[in-house]
Amino acid sequence: MMNRHVRLARRPIGKLRSADLELVETPIPDPGPGEVLIRNTWLSIDPSIRIRLADTTPNGYLPPLQPGDELSGLALGTVVASRSPEFAIGDLVSHTLGYREYAIVGTQAQTIGGYGAPARIDAGQLPIQWFLGPLGSAGLTAYVGLFEILELTTTDVLWVSSAAGAVGALAAQLAKLRGTTVLGSVGSPEKVAYLRDELGIPAFDYHDGPLPKSLAALAPRGIDAYFDNVGGDHLTAALDALRPSGRIALCGAIAGYDDSAVPGPPNLFTMVSKGLRMRGFRAGSFTHLEDSMRREVSGYLADGRLIHRESVFDGIESAIAALLAMLSGATVGKTLCRLDT
Ligand SMILES: NC(=O)c1ccc[n+]([C@@H]2O[C@H](COP(=O)([O-])OP(=O)(O)OC[C@H]3O[C@@H](n4cnc5c(N)ncnc54)[C@H](OP(=O)(O)O)[C@@H]3O)[C@@H](O)[C@H]2O)c1
């Protein structure tokens, strides 16, 4: 039996291209002592892997991958062989060895910023892939950013960037459900319509003219909080639009993932002049909040108040296309790759 997996073929320059990655086939390894063999069923397609394809990574981040290395990413799968007392054949397990059909997972398995340690999932009647989306990393990231980092209140006006994406669409809806006034920014008119018509959240397309003008049209009196998934010019615009004592949650900076030389905001002094607070975070430092996040989010999903959309690609042979599509803005909601389930 063979195992197909995605690896880095060559270092990307600028935008990731399909030739930068390759799908290769190797024999399925046997688990060693303490390890399990997992047949992956769902792969999470996340922007953060792009950071590790560059020749250097930011201080404190995971090291860069080298050409020939397998890509990693959050995944769900079923244990098909076990030499671990912790997992039995048939268990559904979440872990970080995605981008492959079969994974050998040990007790010392890698996490992504503290998230994704191997864990048995009891999905009950819920779609299992939700544990990679609203009940998994995306849900925890949105929840932590809003309620721990921004300490959102009902009187705030919040801007969420990349608001039609996995984290952004959850963050925008969770904030609205808790009574906050929310606006979103996205990369296409279709995504503006999705937010406005289906999620009930006013939004603008960041391609439609200067960001300060678009922001002012939806938030004429400024904003109190900014959930940043993008960085770059979006962060600069937020610093200008924030009212005194405003807050920023730095969740991601996708505008710079293709080019590590993106400069910081030129208007950083507004942090001083307006007494702003900006804090970066990684969901993996807040796994103690996962249970409370799951209770709240699963309730909203069950009664239909939270809309969850997925962009699903089928088969490991579509994993590279899924990653390129997500990075370029061609997907909506949570991007996933479904293997033979
Ligand atoms: N801190 C954490 O623990 C943590 C955890 C998970 C994710 N994140 C970060 O959260 C952010 C969202 O992740 P996600 O998984 O939910 O991805 P996503 O939003 O579902 O997908 C990425 C989206 O980014 C947008 N985008 C791409 N290039 C852009 C650019 N130059 N300017 C503006 N938007 C751009 C595209 O949407 P448009 O069509 O709208 O442009 C694309 O669909 C990322 O920055 C990610 O690294 C952080």
CA distance 203 to 190: 11
* Per-residue pLDDT of the chain in tens (341 residues, 90 and over written 9): 899 999 999 999 999 999 999 999 999 999 999 999 999 999 999 999 999 999 999 999 999 999 999 999 999 999 999 999 999 999 999 999 999 999 999 977 788 888 999 999 999 999 999 999 999 999 999 999 999 999 999 999 999 999 999 999 999 999 999 999 999 999 999 999 999 999 999 999 999 999 999 999 999 999 999 999 999 999 999 999 999 999 999 999 999 999 767 788 999 999 999 999 999 999 999 999 999 999 999 999 999 999 999 999 999 999 999 999 999 999 999 999 999 76
Residue 184 CB less than 6 A away from ligand 1: no
pLDDT at 341: 62
pLDDT at 105: 95
* DSSP secondary structure letter of residue 337: E
| Atom nearest to 46 CA in ligand 1 | 15
CATH label, 137-284, candidates 3.40.50.1110, 3.40.47.40, 3.40.50.920, 3.40.50.720: 3.40.50.720
- Which among 159, 207, 229 is the best mutation to test ligand 1's pocket, defined by most ligand atoms within 8 Å of the CB? 229
Cα(162) to centroid(ligand 1), Å: 6
pLDDT at 65: 96
Residue 281 CB less than 6 A away from ligand 1: yes
pLDDT at 309: 98
pLDDT at 36: 96
Cα(81) to centroid(ligand 1), Å: 35
204 and 217 in contact (C-beta within 8 Å)? yes
- For 44-72, the three-class secondary structure string (H helix, E strand, C coil) is ECCHHHHHHHCCCCCCCCCCCCCCCCECC
Range(s) of the chain covered by CATH 3.90.180.10 = 2-132+309-338
Residue 40 CB less than 6 A away from ligand 1: no
In Å, how far from its chain's centre is CA 235? Answer: 18
CA distance 206 to 188: 8
Helices (H), the chain: 137-143, 166-177, 189-193, 211-218, 232-241, 270-273, 290-302, 319-328
Helices (H), 59-179: 137-143, 166-177
Cα(297) to centroid(ligand 1), Å: 20
Residue 188 CB less than 6 A away from ligand 1: yes
Which of 147, 188, 139 has the alpha carbon at shortest distance from 168? 139
pLDDT at 228: 98
Residue 287 CB less than 6 A away from ligand 1: no
The torsion angles phi and psi of 339, rounded to 5 degrees, stand at -95, 175
- Which among 112, 143, 167 is the best mutation to test ligand 1's pocket, defined by most ligand atoms within 8 Å of the CB? 167
Which of 218, 147, 227, 199 has the alpha carbon at shortest distance from 332? 199
Range(s) of the chain covered by CATH 3.40.50.720 = 137-284
Second-level CATH architecture of 2-132+309-338 = Alpha-Beta Complex (3.90)
